[in-house]
Structure 1
Amino acid sequence: MIQINQLSKKYKGAEDFSVKNLDLKVEDGEIYGLLGPNGAGKTTLISMLTSLLKPTSGSFIINGLNFKENKNELKQLIGIVPQEYALYPTLTAFENLQYFGSMYGIKGETLKNSINEHLEIMGLSKFANKKTATFSGGMKRRVNLIAGILHKPKVLFLDEPTVGVDVQSKNVIIEHLKLLNKQGTTIVYTSHHLNEAEIFCTHVAIIDNGEIIIKGVPSELIKNQTGANNLEDVFLAKTGNALRDYA
């Protein structure tokens, strides 16, 4: 589904590459976790794959489409759920979703029914006509997710989709993502919640300093790492214990 070849990104004025000659293959139907410390290059990688950032070098193909030649087709194929809330605070939940759905060409009753269905699934029906500025973090995360999946994307990119939410919201989000995956959506997901990733992801890649340092099935990575009992142990063994504060 996704083939990445020698992909690199160096920001203007930066001394180092944020992503360096990265190779990765994601198969159709996988839930692929991109894990790494702060500043490791996860968000930069997703931003390139979703055409929000232009790579410095390298290439990638999604569902057989080349990012240079098929940019518009790729945008219709993918869904994006960013780390920051991509919502207009002065609009209601329904109005936000109406706007984002229309951007993907969904109209009329089809759009209305899809919005209402997703709001029901996410437990937000009774808040449909409330401004999102009044919503809790978990509620905003759920609306944020709906905005990225209304058009039924073939590939869904999620950047920290459960950060800062309560356990109940996290559970609703993860269960719905599992359902989408069963229905045929390939998922690429970044997170700092390693216990969540261990259970949720079919495969993971640990990224540090813009490079993949290890990848594979979570259970196998744990099994092959001496003294590891979980994915967090593997993560620390590969990335170290030093603090990763950056500005």
Structure 2
Amino acid sequence: MIVLGLSGAVNHDASAALYIDGKLVAAAEEERFLRDKHAKGKMPYEAVKFCLQRAGIKPSQVDVVAFPYAEISLKSPARWHYAKRHWYAPDRAITALFSGNRRYWRNHKNVMKMLDDLEIGSSRVKFIPVEHHLAHASSAYHLSGFKDKCAIIGIDGKGEYATTFFGYGENGKIHKIKEFYDPDSLGGLYGALTEFLGFEMLDGEFKVMGMAPYGDPKRFDFSRLIECTGDDFKVNTKLVNCLGLRRYKKDGKSYYFSPKLIEWLGNMR
């Protein structure tokens, strides 16, 4: 069986990987071919071409295409949590409930077009959408070599709605225990502060991490950014991870933090 895995569902770092009978034979990121860092807003056309060429197979030989973005049911707590936490932006809250999979279908349309453009055939191949955080968990667990039961934690900005994943792997299968949902995102919070410090979100976070050990933790108390209660936490959306009118805007650009963050920490760096 030939499986083509795609990435780029969250608008950055598009890539492709090709497996033949369970063995990885090729993988590449789109940015390497476009010479465009992170290849934001792009689908992995060139990465797919490279993988097929490297494996020496024709597009029509691909059996399965997997994509790390799936539909989230209205029965899931994810969409309800998003709507409740974004009460101050009613348009976003209503959209989450009544059109909560719009990004999935936008991604689906783009993938189907790419499969047809590359002559893989959208109507022929089997398409498997995978929940974003489950894909993250798989990339860690299934390549770890662990044979016994092991814990899995995934933290990023967000996928469909989930921002943090807790689960475990056992006998090759991943079991979900708990998830946290947008806007309660540690990755989003870190991205917001990355922007505040003058770096580009979804790019400069590693620079902030590298400089963090040289900072003085006594200068600021960041506890107001997150409220922790037992086994739950909430990000303070009056400061970061905010939408709409709450966001700080400058020179026509909207940022992932609010003017209240600037009132507290001073001007954006």
Q: Same fold (TM over 0.5)?
A: no
| TM-score, normalised relative to structure 2 | 0.26
| TM-score, normalised relative to structure 1 | 0.28
Tell me which structure has the larger Cα radius of gyration. 2
Q: Which has the higher contact order (CA 8 A, sep 6+)?
A: 1
